[in-house]
Structure 1
């Protein structure tokens, strides 16, 4: 049976579900058109867009005053550049072999978008964190972006070719094996699957020495401390008896400092109204909880690397008193960088696209995750999604990793990515395509090294653009 006979729209019209055997056949049949070894291929189109042009095109919709910060961060290293270059890679991935098997993609699955997060039940989980670019698409795109990020980080740490190959192979092998495991499981079993602190400790006990296990233990403990109270203490100060967000321009700029005298009242009302309307996208019990908080202050915040220049607000709300804070982040949601190549979102709101993708892929999402549309200073309506600013978050520091530690981290990332794809895609077909051998693992490892070379050339192109004055770069520390 040919792969195209399993077209989802045809199945929807027929009302028939594929059997597990048919789904496995679908995956194996995909090897004929797209051999697993073909994923090693990286052949950028002859008319590949200039990478700086791609970045500048994104900048046209962003806050002009913050664009130099974005260029400054991306200039720092090939890895920092890679974190901001999801749009560039999306175009390159579209030219690579495609299995025709789709899943909900993160869209920006580099290694630092995998981190420790809190579940609503206050358990510490390991999951994907950033879904700005989420969209359905070829599952292999996420795998290749993750694998390449490990190569780039490994190069910056001075790892040998052999060490990098081991790290990437461990990551992709973990993805493949976990996907094959998920293919044998029922729908509910897949849905409830998660990676918690105990899972990470088990991996560490297997592969890390005493020093590595101690470092992981400290990381877990630190993540549990990164809650709203800690963020509140770090980001606020008391002014005339009332908590206010502490200015740290240009990275954190209170609303009162952004607009002329009196001009902030209108925007404050707009953001307060945004919070009021966004409540409707939450579950009823969470609406009740949020109704007990009142907006007290707000500020613009510069976030990440790839998101610099997008409109992002941190909003301080207080509950019972000044010792009962809630910090929300309202972040602008534009069209996914994957959309020109994977197809437009089914959602009219880009904020809803992000939230729907996150809820589908994560094992447990923030209780305040929701979306809404709001009007900006310029009168233009834009989509936003909202969530807690910090809640038990722990992020890896690649520069501190030894090769064995990065391989272990890559395994955890690969397994997590497999779980997210298994929830939304045809896990049986994908597992059958991957098979029990390491053909796909080796192919992606080769691709990742080749793309890391291309990324270094793109990074150099940005440095040249900065040196020539074509773009302005401003050095800042992260907030």
Structure 2
């Protein structure tokens, strides 16, 4: 086992492969793949009738486009030199993939909360994705380029300083590190944004299965709860036979810890529906299940989401897990401070891979597109801290901290990259708009 000083030396040696200042460059090569071709290729294995909804949502704003274009940025990052300092990447670490959720002890935590693209890879890819999203959001909110650059700088500085702090802690201290909303977050949000953030936290506390029951379901003539149809966004599944349903439950149940199987067995199946979610995930097969526990006032809503290969996989070592649902679940369990007790996976019809989680468990995200410049900087700082905590659990925090160093060389380089990449994102966003206007791409408005 290497010593801390040896690990730090390995981190500094990585500067020879990719200097800290080299991260500031973004010049697309003449061989850069067309962004729309990447998006169309990604949609090939998705439900074709939902592609217009995805494009409609991506056209809502440049930030919405960035959210849906993880595969585009993955190709761009894959073409750059990297440090080789590996962590379990979130894979899509934009601002809205951080947020609030409840731990099993019902404490509200702030953390990374989306792992569809998770895969081991160079730590800086997540940092660059985060910084780019900060810059795009700041520019969209009306900030000048200098202020947008400053916001990205704050996020990266927070990542670096927290990684250096975590490098000095013991293994268990790092593993137990968490960001609690009441103790760690609210006191740090300056007065101008605290009320808005507190309102969002209060809203997250109300987002439970019981609240969703009233919003997504109704009681039919027989007194049975059913999902309210809202095609194509929510459509009941009526052709699932008991044999198929039994196998699905059995496979999913086997991925849970033994004590959680006991808990799951106390619920009975009531109804199921296909649901369109997110921006980048639109077109993947996604379902919601309504289960009932003690009685009709004791619901459990589970989301079953299709998991394909990570968007990062063409540019990195393939996942150690052949099952893509297990890839997502394992990545989430490794990097989150605490994870959903119903997180699991299974293989569905046509050998497609899925993962399961609770649909609503006090989950919430910030309204980034309405933040003031000061509040956005506070939020960017918080996301940088959360990302450092996640990476410190899965990677060599001592090596990464040594690579980053005590100065702001890396911070400024990544902020420079983020500002340049915001321009690339704007060009790609405009190209999608032009394709829609020309009729070569179909988008559903207001979807």
Shorter-chain-normalised TM-score: which range? over 0.9
Please list every run of 5 or more consecutive structure 2 residues that lacks an aligned counterpart in the other structure. none
Q: Does 1:202 align with 2:187?
A: yes
Aligned counterpart for 1:309 among listed residues 283, 287, 310: 283
Partner of 1:136: 120
CA–CA distance in structure 2, aligned partners of residues 275 and 419 of structure 1: 34
- The residue number in structure 1 matching 2:155 is 171
What is the CA-CA distance between 1:100 and the residue it aligns to?
A: 1.2
Contact 2:213/2:299, CA 8 A, preserved across alignment: yes
Superposed CA offset, 1:415-456 (max 9, x none): 000011100111000000000100000000100011110011
Instruction: Report the RMSD for the aligned CA atoms in angstroms.
Output: 1.1
**1:238 is aligned to 2:208:** no
How many Å apart are 1:221 and its aligned residue? Answer: 1.5
Match of 1:148 among 132, 137, 141: 132
Instruction: Provide the C-alpha distance between the structure 1 equivalents of 2:323 and 2:369, rounded to a whole number of angstroms.
Output: 38
Q: Retained in 2: the 8 A contact 1:44–1:95?
A: no
CA displacement at 1:469 relative to structure 2: 1.6
2:12 aligned residue: 28
Could you tell me how far apart the structure 2 residues matched to 1:128 and 1:117 are? 10
Aligned to 2:201: 220
Query: Which residue of structure 2 lines up, in the alignment, with residue 183 of structure 1?
Result: 167
TM-score, normalising length: structure 2:
0.98
Counterpart secondary structure, 1:326: strand
User: SS of 2:326's equivalent?
Assistant: helix
Aligned partners of 2:149 and 2:418 also within 8 Å: no
Q: 1:147 is paired with a residue of what secondary structure?
A: helix
In structure 2, the residue matched to 1:157 is 141
One of 278, 284, 289 as aligned partner of 2:252: 278
Give the structure 2 partner of residue 47 of structure 1. 31
- What TM-score comes out, normalization by structure 1 length? 0.91
Shift of 1:269: 4.5
1:19 aligns with 2:3: yes
1:361 aligned to 2:343?
A: no
Pairs aligned (count):
445
CA offsets per residue over residues 81-125 of structure 1, 9 Å max, x none? 111101110010012231111100000000000000100000000
- Structure 1: 5+ residue stretches without partners: 1-16, 257-263
Tell me the CA shift for residue 271 of structure 1.
3.9
Structure-1 separation of matches of 2:351 and 2:213 = 29
Is the contact made by 1:43 and 1:96 (CA closer than 8 Å) also made in structure 2?
no
Corresponding position of 2:56: 72
Query: For each residue in 1:113-156, what CA deviation from the matched residue of structure 2 results, as whole angstroms up to 9, or x when unmatched?
Result: 00001000000000111100000001000000000001111111
Distance in structure 2 (CA, Å) of the matches to 1:29 and 1:461: 40
The yes-or-no answer on 1:453 pairing with 2:427 is: no
Q: Give the corresponding residue for 1:10.
A: none
Residue in 2 aligned with 1:5? none
- Aligned to 1:250, what secondary structure does the other structure show? coil
Matching residue of 1:6: none
